[in-house]
A and B are shown apart, each in its own frame.
Chain A
C-alpha cells in the first residue's frame, strides 16, 4: 500500500499513464465517542479548534484513503490520480468521509 502513488492532478508527474481502470473509491462512517463529544462541547464554550474532532476526522479520512487504495490495488492499479474528497453529515452526529479517484497503471518516463 505504501508504494501506491496518489495525486489530485490529472497525472503523476514524471510517469506516463498506460491504462485507466475507472473510478476507485473508499468510504468510512465515523461516530464520535460520547466522552470526547462532551469534552469538545466544553471546549466549544470558548471556541477555536476542537482537537478531538480534528483527530477523529484525520483518522477517518486516512482510513477512507486506505480503502480507496485497496480498491485500486484490487483492480490492478498502481496509482490513483485526481483524488477528491467528500464529507457529509449523517444521522446522529456521525460523519461519512468519502475519497475517490481514477485508478491507473503508470510506467516511468
Chain B
C-alpha cells in the first residue's frame, strides 16, 4: 500500500516536469517588463539629457549663425531695414496697396538649458541660456517678416508688433509650462 502510494506520488511529480506553470511564467514576464520599463525610464532620459548637453549648443549656434547671415544679406540688399514700428511711412510716398503680414515661430529651450535655468532660479540673476533662446526666437520671427515682405514684393512694413505667448503647454497638474515653449508672433502692414 505504502509502496504503491509513493510510486504514484513520484509518478505524478515526474509528469509535472521542470517547466514553470503558466502563473509563474506570467509573473516572470510581468516582473521583467517592470524592470525593463524602470530601466528605460531611468536610462533613456539620462541619455537624452547627455545628448542635450552636448548637441544643443551646437544646434542652436548653427541656427543663430544662419540667421545672422540672412539678416546681414537682407539689410545689405535693401540698404536698411524694411520693418518700421511707426504707423505711417517716414518719407511721404504714394501707397497703392497694403495688407496685413504675419509671421510666427515656436521655440523652446533644450533640457540642458532648462536644467541650468532651474539652478539659476535658486540664486536668482540673469538666465543667460534662456536669453539666447528668446533673443533667437524674436530675431528669427522679425527676419521671417522681412523675408515674407520681400518675397511678396512689399516695399516696407509699417506698425510692426511683436508678441510673445506661452502655448502648447499642459496647464493641468500644477506643473505649468514644463517645457518652456514660447510662441513669437510678428505682424505689420505691408505697403507698396
By a beta-carbon cutoff of 8 Å, the part of chain A in contact with chain B is: 5-10, 12-14, 32, 37, 40-41, 44-51, 53-54, 56-58, 61, 65, 83, 85, 87-93, 95
Shortest CB-to-CB span from A15 to chain B, Å, is: 9
Q: Known: A47-B109, A47-B133, A95-B167. Is A61-B52 also a contact (CB below 8 A)? A: no
Q: Known: A14-B98, A46-B59. Is A8-B187 also a contact (CB below 8 A)? A: yes
In the assembled complex, 15 residue pairs joining A and B whose CB atoms fall closer than 8 Å, in A order, are: A5-B99, A8-B159, A8-B189, A13-B98, A14-B95, A14-B98, A45-B48, A48-B59, A50-B106, A50-B108, A53-B168, A54-B104, A61-B185, A85-B163, A93-B171
Query: In whole angstroms, what is the CA distance A49 to B111 when docked?
Result: 14
Shortest CB-to-CB span from A55 to chain B, Å, is: 9
Q: In the bound complex, do residue A85 and residue B187 qualify as a contact, i.e. CB atoms below 8 Å apart?
A: yes
Contacts of B95 in A (CB 8 A): 13-14
Which 9 A/B pairs are nearest by Cβ-Cβ distance?
A47-B110, A13-B95, A53-B106, A6-B100, A87-B165, A7-B189, A95-B167, A9-B87, A46-B56
Q: Map CB proximity to A onto B163-192 as digits: 1 under 8 Å, 0 otherwise.
A: 101111111100000010101010111010
Central interface residue in A8, A61, A90, A95, by most chain B CB within 10 Å = A8
Contacts of B99 in A (CB 8 A): 5-7
Q: Give the dominant DSSP class at B's interface.
A: mixed
Q: In the bound complex, do residue A44 and residue B110 qualify as a contact, i.e. CB atoms below 8 Å apart?
A: yes
Query: In whole angstroms, what is the CA distance A102 to B95 when docked?
Result: 21
What is the total of A-B residue contacts with beta carbons within 8 Å?
A: 137
Q: In the bound complex, do residue A45 and residue B51 qualify as a contact, i.e. CB atoms below 8 Å apart?
A: yes
Shortest CB-to-CB span from A43 to chain B, Å, is: 8
Q: In the bound complex, do residue A95 and residue B110 qualify as a contact, i.e. CB atoms below 8 Å apart?
A: no
Q: Known: A7-B100, A8-B187, A8-B188. Is A53-B63 also a contact (CB below 8 A)? A: no
Shortest CB-to-CB span from A87 to chain B, Å, is: 4
Contacts of B88 in A (CB 8 A): 9, 13
Shortest CB-to-CB span from A98 to chain B, Å, is: 11
Beyond the given A7-B189, A44-B181, A54-B104, please list 15 additional residue pairs across the A-B interface where CB-CB is below 8 A: A9-B88, A9-B158, A14-B95, A44-B179, A45-B110, A46-B55, A47-B110, A49-B107, A57-B104, A57-B106, A65-B100, A87-B167, A88-B165, A93-B168, A93-B171
